[in-house]
């Protein structure tokens, strides 16, 4: 009896991390590709050349914003830029770290890049969870004009983001988002009204 109760109590607790690891693995195998706003914005992890070509063609993507930054010595970067060039897609490098807060000046630069870029846009970083989550939240709120709660959902475990204070190094993305939420303007750009489009 005691053994049965212990087994039923411990098993669900022990299974939870395993379930999360399996889910995160599936996200990575699929490229963590998600539609954020149809016809405007998509997000992913680092894709293979074939995955990138397939998603670009299937969704009409016109701009790739690489949040990992320029890295000409890496095969992934050379492959990505060659695929973008072959498909006639604009490629933009905007390097940021998942472990350091982004200051509001850099946020303003990213907003301007996303506003000016031909749509639809594909945002990506390595895992498609942290940097991509923050950039997607910024787009949803500051470019598309949707409310902050809707935007903040982009920084979610659904996409593999774990923003836990003092435990997660990627919590810097959550702190940056909090700074953005409290800023009425960023640089010389006035924030858009909070509304659902």
Q: What pLDDT, on the 0 to 100 scale, is given for residue 193?
A: 40
For 52-91, what is each residue's pLDDT tens digit? 999 999 999 999 999 999 999 999 999 999 999 999 999 9
Domains of the chain, start order: 32-189 (3.90.190.10)
In tens, the pLDDT along 159-181 reads 786 766 666 677 888 899 999 99
More confident of the two residues 17 and 121: 121
The single residue listed with the structure tokens 């973008």 is 84
Start-end of H helices in the chain: 2-29, 49-59, 75-87, 104-116, 131-138, 148-152, 171-182
The pLDDT tens digits for 30-60 are 679 999 999 999 999 999 999 999 999 999 9
Rounded to two decimals, the pTM is 0.81
């Amino acid at each position: 009896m005691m053994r049965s109760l212990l087994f039923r109590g411990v098993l669900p607790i022990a299974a939870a991390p395993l379930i999360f690891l399996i889910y995160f693995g599936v996200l990575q195998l699929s490229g963590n590709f998600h539609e954020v706003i149809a016809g405007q914005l998509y997000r992913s992890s680092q894709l293979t050349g074939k995955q990138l070509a397939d998603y670009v063609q299937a969704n009409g993507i016109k701009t790739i914003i690489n949040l990992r930054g320029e890295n000409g010595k890496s095969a992934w970067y050379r492959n990505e830029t060659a695929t973008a060039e072959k498909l006639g897609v604009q490629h933009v490098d905007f390097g940021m770290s998942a472990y350091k807060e982004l200051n509001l000046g850099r946020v303003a630069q990213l907003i301007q890049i996303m506003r000016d870029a031909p749509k639809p846009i594909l945002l990506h970083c390595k895992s498609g969870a942290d940097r991509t989550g923050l950039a997607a939240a910024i787009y949803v709120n500051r470019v598309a004009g949707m409310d902050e709660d809707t935007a903040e959902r982009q920084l979610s475990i659904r996409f593999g983001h774990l923003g836990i204070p003092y435990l997660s190094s990627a919590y810097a993305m959550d702190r940056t988002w909090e700074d953005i939420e409290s800023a009425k303007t960023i640089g010389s750009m006035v924030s858009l009204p909070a509304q659902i489009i």
